[in-house]
């Protein structure tokens, strides 16, 4: 396989967000998996251009709904997923509103929020910490959808080459590379030591309330120290054997990379290389090798109800969901589907209208009692924030928090315990 030197663990670890300027951090405690409480994982998949609403949403609610044209591609798994109607974040902006999909808050509107526009996956990654080699893995086709954000409001770009992802997961680094990473981690240790010394010198000059705040901050810094130590320990632990041959660094059509990426992410979760992963499908990718498709994906999304474009858009969306079906098959075969919560959807509902309302959202796996099609209230004064569903998803993962994004409660329409 061609030598790939541009990827290192920092591209994955940057998502864990050592944001020392913040006064508080999420808890990084990881509960050990037991027979009563098995290891849990989250995989989030976002498609920038959404899915054609009439083809995506079923017409009736409940478990006995008739599958829509798009959902027919995953019909065999209907007992293992729930599709939701009338959920969104109350945002606008078209393409610029898509970045709120996993955050609930647009980047442009995040200034007044203490956690900025942190995404669901990164909160989960902070919770699991360094229990796995990579706190989170962000992958995708092309440049992605701006889906993943740290709590300081920094975008995490996806790894968009499957060969690079394979190398990071399963190819051992050289001793020189490990030593260099060890040096980098040591430099971070030095920064933390200096920070602790400065903070401790302030202690005698603070009132009681500020001392409590400083104590909380120092506790958080010590958690970061612990995580850095665990990262050092991972450097010399052997990587797992994936059981497949190495992925070559070769030219591929973007859309054809989907099954390979999904296989690699399944392996990453199965080998406990990570417990949090995301995959981004961007605004545009090559579709011309799909049968009967001669227009780019972005152009197809702007169909203006033209029959020719809608026919081709169906081919593309059927292909995407055929690969989702394959992903679900793989998670089942790996015996991790019941312990993996798959989030699938978009921050845009209708690419032709640039609408961010009534988003396509689907939850799968997780050992949940799935409810088929859940139709939430459509009236504005009764609408349920999508962030409520994200909050419940984080609580399912084990994160103890009472709010996320613009949530006003947990998601009461479905049990995510």
- Is residue 29 over pLDDT 70? no
Task: Please answer whether residues 89 and 119 qualify as being in contact, where contact means their C-beta atoms are separated by less than 8 angstroms.
Answer: no
Q: Mean pLDDT lowest for which of 100-104, 107-111, 226-230, 402-406?
A: 226-230
CA distance 42 to 395: 12
Percent of the chain clearing pLDDT 70 (strictly above):
72
Architecture of domain 10-171+245-397: 3-Layer(aba) Sandwich (3.40)
Selected residue with higher pLDDT from 183 and 416:
416
Which ranges in 148-207 belong to alpha helices (H)?
Answer: 162-170, 175-202
- Is residue 193 over pLDDT 80? no
Global model pTM greater than 0.95? no
pLDDT at 255: 73
pLDDT at 234: 62
CA distance 110 to 152: 10
Selected residue with higher pLDDT from 112 and 65:
65
pLDDT at 178: 59
Q: Mean pLDDT lowest for which of 72-76, 295-299, 332-336?
A: 295-299
pLDDT at 106: 94
pLDDT at 28: 30
- 50 DSSP assignment: B
- Is residue 87 over pLDDT 90? yes
- Is residue 225 over pLDDT 50? no
Average pLDDT over residues 184-211: 62
Could you tell me if residue 367 is left (phi over 0), alpha (psi between -120 and 50 degrees) or otherwise beta? left
CA distance 5 to 12: 15
Enumerate residues 6+ apart whose C-beta is below 8 A from 209: none
CA distance 323 to 258: 7
Task: Please answer whether residues 165 and 146 qualify as being in contact, where contact means their C-beta atoms are separated by less than 8 angstroms.
Answer: no
Neighbours of 118 (CB within 10 A): 28
pLDDT in tens, 365-374: 999 999 999 9
CA distance 387 to 406: 6
Task: Please answer whether residues 286 and 253 qualify as being in contact, where contact means their C-beta atoms are separated by less than 8 angstroms.
Answer: yes
CA distance 409 to 391: 8
- Note the Cα 64 to chain centre separation in Å: 29
Q: Which residue(s) pair with 138 in the sheet?
A: 278
Task: Please answer whether residues 253 and 200 qualify as being in contact, where contact means their C-beta atoms are separated by less than 8 angstroms.
Answer: no
pLDDT in tens, 231-263: 556 666 788 888 888 887 765 557 778 999 999
Q: Indicate the pLDDT class of residue 55, thresholds 50, 70 and 90.
A: very high
- Is residue 386 over pLDDT 90? yes
Selected residue with higher pLDDT from 234 and 314:
314
- H/E stretch holding 373: strand 372-375
Selected residue with higher pLDDT from 247 and 200:
247
Per-chain mean pLDDT for the chain = 80
Domain definitions of the chain by residue range:
10-171+245-397, 173-237
CA distance 298 to 286: 10
């Amino acid at each position: 396989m061609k030598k790939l030197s541009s990827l290192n663990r920092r591209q994955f670890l940057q998502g864990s967000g050592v944001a020392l300027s913040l006064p508080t951090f999420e808890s990084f405690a990881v509960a050990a998996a037991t027979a009563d409480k098995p290891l849990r994982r989250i995989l989030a998949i976002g498609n920038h251009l959404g899915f054609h609403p009439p083809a995506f949403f079923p017409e009736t609610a409940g478990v006995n709904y008739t599958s829509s044209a798009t959902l027919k591609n995953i019909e065999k798994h209907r007992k293992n997923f729930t599709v939701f109607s009338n959920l969104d974040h109350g945002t606008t902006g078209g393409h610029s509103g898509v970045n709120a999909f996993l955050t609930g808050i647009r980047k442009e509107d995040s200034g007044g929020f203490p956690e900025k526009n942190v995404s669901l996956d990164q909160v989960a990654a902070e919770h699991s910490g360094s229990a796995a080699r990579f706190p989170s893995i962000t992958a995708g086709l092309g440049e992605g959808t701006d889906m993943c954000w740290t709590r300081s409001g920094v975008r995490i770009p996806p790894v968009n080459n499957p060969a690079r992802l394979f190398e990071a997961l399963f190819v051992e680094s050289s001793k020189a590379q490990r030593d260099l990473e060890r040096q980098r981690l040591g430099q971070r240790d030095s920064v933390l030591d200096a920070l602790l010394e400065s903070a401790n010198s302030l202690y005698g000059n603070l009132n009681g309330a500020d001392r409590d705040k400083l104590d909380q901050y120092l506790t958080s810094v010590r958690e970061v120290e612990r995580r850095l130590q665990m990262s050092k320990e991972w450097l010399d632990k052997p990587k797992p054997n994936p059981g497949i041959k190495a992925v070559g660094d070769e030219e591929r059509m973007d859309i054809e990379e989907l099954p390979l990426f999904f296989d690699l992410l399944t392996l990453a979760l199965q080998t406990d290389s990570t417990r949090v992963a995301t995959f981004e499908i961007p605004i545009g990718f090559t579709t011309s090798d799909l049968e009967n498709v001669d227009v780019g994906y972005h152009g197809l999304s702007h169909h203006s109800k033209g029959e020719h474009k809608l026919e081709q858009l169906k081919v593309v969306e059927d292909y995407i969901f055929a690969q989702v079906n394959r992903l679900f098959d793989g998670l089942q075969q790996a015996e991790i589907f019941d312990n993996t919560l798959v989030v699938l959807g978009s921050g845009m509902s209708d690419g032709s209208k640039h609408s961010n309302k009534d988003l396509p959202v689907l939850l799968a796996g997780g050992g949940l009692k799935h409810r088929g099609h859940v139709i939430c209230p459509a009236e504005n004064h009764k609408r349920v924030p999508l962030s409520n569903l994200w909050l419940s998803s984080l609580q399912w993962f084990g994160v103890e928090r009472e709010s996320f994004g613009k949530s006003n409660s947990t998601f009461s329409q479905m049990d995510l315990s």
